[in-house]
Structure 1
Amino acid sequence: MTDSSQPPRGDVRGARVLVVEDEPSIADVLSITLRFHGFDVSTAATVRQARHLAEHVRPDAVLLDVMLPDGDGRELGRELRSALPEAGIVFVTARDAPAEVVGALGFGDDYITKPFHIDEVVARIAAVLRRTRPADVLPRRAPLRHGDLELDETTYTVRRGARSAQLTPTEYALLRFLVRNAGQIVPKEELLRHVWQYQHPAESTVVETYISYLRRKLGTLGPPLITTRRGVGYGLT
């Protein structure tokens, strides 16, 4: 899989996409890339989690792995089609037998086989959304704000007053999580679980690395925002 820097054609940004994938590395690539292209992404690793999120998030599209640890993704697809008839459903699987494809497309909107190119996933999600929901009625997310800091949810731009900076998808996801938890110190382990989906994070230094990237970029926009509680985590002043 490779990343893409080009947005999908057509204005489908802001649409809610539920990614159901039990392989953490694949789920991470999918969620970060889709967020980079302006989608509002939720992730689930099991059928149970997917049912819960589908009920509460009401996604516009579902990217659904066929083989899940606690059930068959195709059966979940049938349930979601019944519960969310207007949502687009795109299946992802390593199986490419014609019978599998035909069976899935009986109640899904598209079908992608592994290994896949990440550009193809973005393009197909966008195409399904354009078919299932006209672009001119897709929800547009309001900017996130904390003090004079504003995060544009469609362009991945950060502003403070008239000045702006471009963030990478991971930098943006980290800052967004800090903004959504402003007023408290977020433990490093929580950041790793929610931003990187790491399950055993004790020895990782990735948070420190990306905090330094954010400080460098945000430092060009105004006074320091990110505070460190040594041995605990990070927060916004």
Structure 2
Amino acid sequence: MTDQLPQVLVLDDDDDTAALLSMALRRRGFRALVARTCEEGRSQLAESAVDALVTDVSLPDGSGVALVASLAHRPRAVIVVSGFGGDDDREKSLKAGAHAHMVKPIDVARLVATLNELLGRSG
């Protein structure tokens, strides 16, 4: 039954944030993978059937926004998270191909609701 749960890749280099988000998503009916760098994220996306990507902007080896823009095949739901939420920050995320831009600290209930909406799941 867990194979039918949507799989989310959490891409964040902060251990606490990655652990918190992945644990919260698992508790709310998702499977969660974690990657810490753009390179790890790209590998996970290539190797696993990922339904959604939640990525930080600032990663040790590049930008989560640039990673999203470079993907030939994006997951069904892409959410960029950042410490910045100005109109230009949101616009950059959306132009890169993200479906949503959220500002840290992340409201987990809002994240889950957005993922459910983007994936066509009842919450």
- Normalising by structure 2, we get a TM-score of 0.89
Residue in 1 that maps onto 2:13: 22
CA distances 1:174-217 after superposition (whole Å, capped 9, x unpaired) = xxxxxxxxxxxxxxxxxxxxxxxxxxxxxxxxxxxxxxxxxxxx
What runs of 5+ residues in structure 1 fail to find an aligned partner? 1-12, 136-237
Measure the CA separation in 1 of the matches of 2:114 and 2:79. Answer: 8
Measure the CA separation in 2 of the matches of 1:53 and 1:90. Answer: 16
- Of 57, 65, 72, 2:56 maps to 65
C-alpha RMSD of matched pairs (Å): 1.6
1:101 to partner: Cα distance:
0.5
What runs of 5+ residues in structure 2 fail to find an aligned partner? none
After superposition, residues 53-202 of structure 1 pair within 5 angstroms as 53-80=44-71, 82-84=72-74, 86-106=75-95, 107-130=97-120, 135=121
Which aligned segments of 4 or more residues in structure 1 are displaced greater than 2 angstroms?
none
The count of corresponding residues between Structure 1 and Structure 2 is 118
Higher helix share: 2
Query: Aligned partner of 1:117: which letter?
Result: D
SS of aligned partner of 2:98: coil
Larger radius of gyration: 1
Contact 2:76 2:118 in 1 (8 A): no
Percent of aligned pairs sharing the same letter:
27
If asked which structure has higher relative contact order (CA below 8 Å, sep 6+), I would say 2
SS of aligned partner of 1:108: coil
